[in-house]
Amino acid sequence: MEPQLGLIEQSFHVRYSDGVREALDELGDSFLITDPSISGHPIVFASSAFLKIFGYSKDQVIGKNGRMFQGPKTNRRSVLEIREAIRQEKAIQISLLNYRKDGTPFWMLFHMCPVFAKEDGRVVHFLGVQVPILRKSGVVRNPSKLCEDGTGFLGCCRREVTSDSVMEVGRGLALDYLLNSDDRELEIDQPCEASELEKRKAATAISNILSVLAHYSASEVTGRLVCGKACCLSGMGLGASINISFGRIKQSFVLTDPHLHDMPIVYASDAFLKLTGYARHEVLGRNCRFLSGLDTVSATQFQIAECIRNERPCTVHILNYRKDKTSFWNFLHISPVRNATGKVAYFVGVQISSSCNSQGKQGLSPAMEHLSVVGAVKVAVRSLSIGASTS
C-alpha cells in the first residue's frame, strides 16, 4: 500500500502547486478527483463536502476506487455507461444511486469529466461531481421541477431514507434532509431524474473546479498546464455547439492554437484523419510539423511560419507524409481566425491532397474549397467567447 500512497501523493503534487487542496475545498462542492494512470484508478482527492455527504473520513476514501460508493441497487447499466465514458475519455452526466457509509442509498446526479494535460493531450485526472437529487415528497409521482432558487419548501423524497442527523448538502442548496421515521421503505428502483437546477449546479461546479485546477497548474513549480475544457483535445472540449458546427465541414482541416506552447492542433476534422492516416489522439496537442518529412522543402515551412507570425493567410504546396510514411502533395491554405473578442484565436489549416479529385463533386475550384472552409470556421469561431461569462 505504501508505494501506492506515494503515487497518489505525487498525482497531485507534480501537477498542481501548493494551496490547490485548500482552494478546492473552498468551493464547497462535493467532488472526487481520480487518477487513471495509477493502477486501480484510485481517488486522489475528495472534497470536504463529499466526505460530509457520504459520511467517510479522508483516509477511508483516498486510494480507493469510486465503485465503493455503489451498492446492490445501483443500476448496472449506468455503471457501464460511466466505465465506457472513462474508456473513451469523455464527459458524462448521469443519475446514479450511491450509498453512504451507513449503508443508506440516495440518488445523485453524477457529472464526470476528464482533465487533460495541455502539453500532450493525455488525460491526467477524472473529475466527478455529485449533486444530490431532491424531490417534492408526497403523492406527486413525476419528478416536477423544484423551486428554482433552491430554497424554501423542499420535502425529502420518499425514496430517500436519511440518517438522524441533519446534513448540509453542498453550497447554495441550503437544504436540510427531513427525518422520515414513518416510512423506511426503500422505493429506489425507479430512476430519479435530475432537475434543470441540479444539472446547472453540477455544470457550474465542474467549471469552477477546472478553473481552480488550471490556476494552480499554471505556475512555474509544476510547469504543466491542465484544462478540462478549452483544449478540446478530445474534440469535445471546445463545446458541443462548435463541434457540431465543425462537424458539418466535410473537408480536411485542422485548428491550431497560437497561444499555446508550440501552437498545437486543437481540432482535426475526420477528413484530415482519413487523409493522413492518424487517429485523433495522435494529432491533437501536436504541432503540424509532424506531417512534414525528409523531402519537405524547408523554405515552404519557413514561409508558413512567417505568415503565421504576421497573422496573414498563406497558400502553399507542401510535401507531407501520412502515418504509413507515404507522401502526398498538400495544397495547403492557412488563415488566422478571430473570435468574438476580435482578436486572433486560432489558425485554420485546410488541406487538399492533389491525389484526390481536385474539382470534386462540389464544383468549386480547390482555391474556393479552401476559402469555403475558412469561411465556415470563421463563422463558427466568431461566436466563441461571445457569452458574458466565458473565459
Partner 1 sequence: MLTIKKVPTVVSNYQEDGDDNNNAAGIRTEDATQSQARGCARNCLGKCCLPVSKLPLYAFKKNDYPSKNNAVFPSDDGVSPISFLNNLLLAQWEDRMRRGLFRYDVTSCETKVIPGRYGFIAQLNEGRHLKKRPTEFRIDQVLQPFDENKFNFTKVGQEEVLFRFESNDDDKSRFFSSYAVDICSISPSVVAINVSPIEYGHVLLIPRVLDCLPQRIDHESFLLALYFAKEAADPFLRVGYNSLGAFATINHLHFQAYYLSVTFPIEKAPTRRIMARKGLQGADLVVSELLDYPVRGLVFEGGCVLRDLSDAVASSCIYLQQNNVPFNVLIADCGRKIFLLPQCYAEKQALGEVSLEVLETQVNPAVWEISGHMVLKRRKDYDDASEDYAWKLLSEVSLSGVRFESVKACVSEAAGLQVEVDTYNIDQKECIYDSEAPQVASHMQRDCPAIH
Residues that bind partner 1 (CB under 8 A): 81, 85, 90-94, 111, 113-114, 199-200, 203-204, 206-207, 228-229, 236-237, 239-241, 243-245, 247-250, 313, 337-338, 340-342, 362-365, 368-372, 374-376, 378-380, 382-383, 386-391
Q: With beta carbons less than 8 A apart as the criterion, state whether 301 and 289 touch.
A: yes
Who's near 233: CB < 8 A, 6+ residues apart? Answer: 116, 118, 121, 266, 281, 284, 285
Query: Shortest Cβ distance from residue 344 to partner 1 (Å)?
Result: 9
Minimum gap (Å) between residue 365 Cβ and partner 1: 8
Residues in the chain: 391
Beta carbon nearer to partner 1, 7 or 236: 236
Task: Name the minimum Å distance from CB 272 to partner 1.
Answer: 15
355 or 391: whose CB is closer to partner 1?
Answer: 391
Nearest approach in angstroms of CB 362 to partner 1 is 6
Q: Phi-psi category of 368—alpha, beta or left, where left has phi over 0 and alpha has psi -120 to 50?
A: alpha
In the chain, which ranges are E strands? 31-34, 43-46, 92-99, 105-117, 123-132, 226-227, 252-256, 265-268, 314-321, 327-338, 344-353
Q: Which is nearer to partner 1, 156 or 284 (CB)?
A: 284
User: Nearer to partner 1 by C-beta: 132 or 237?
Assistant: 237
User: Are the C-beta atoms of 135 and 157 separated by less than 8 Å?
Assistant: yes
Smallest separation, CB 88 to partner 1 (Å): 9
Taking the complex as a whole, how short is the minimal distance between the CB of residue 279 and partner 1, in angstroms?
19
Question: ∠315-321-327 over CA atoms, to 5°?
Answer: 95
60 or 78: whose CB is closer to partner 1? 78
Task: CB nearer to partner 1: give 94 or 263.
Answer: 94
The residue with cell 465543425 is: 246
Q: How far apart are the first and last CA of the chain?
A: 41
User: In sequence order, what are the residues at sequence separation of 6 or more whose Cβ sits closer than 8 angstroms to the Cβ of residue 125?
Assistant: 11, 15, 33, 34, 35, 36, 44, 114, 115, 213, 226
Q: How far is the CB of 121 from partner 1 (least distance, A)?
A: 14
Question: Minimum Å distance from CB 18 to partner 1?
Answer: 26
Backbone angles phi, psi at 308, to 5 degrees: -65, -40
Name the residue nearer to partner 1 (CB basis): 354 or 362.
362
C-beta closer to partner 1: residue 188 or 377: 377
Q: Do 288 and 266 contact (CB within 8 A), yes or no?
A: no
As a whole number of angstroms, the distance between CA 180 and CA 167 comes to 14
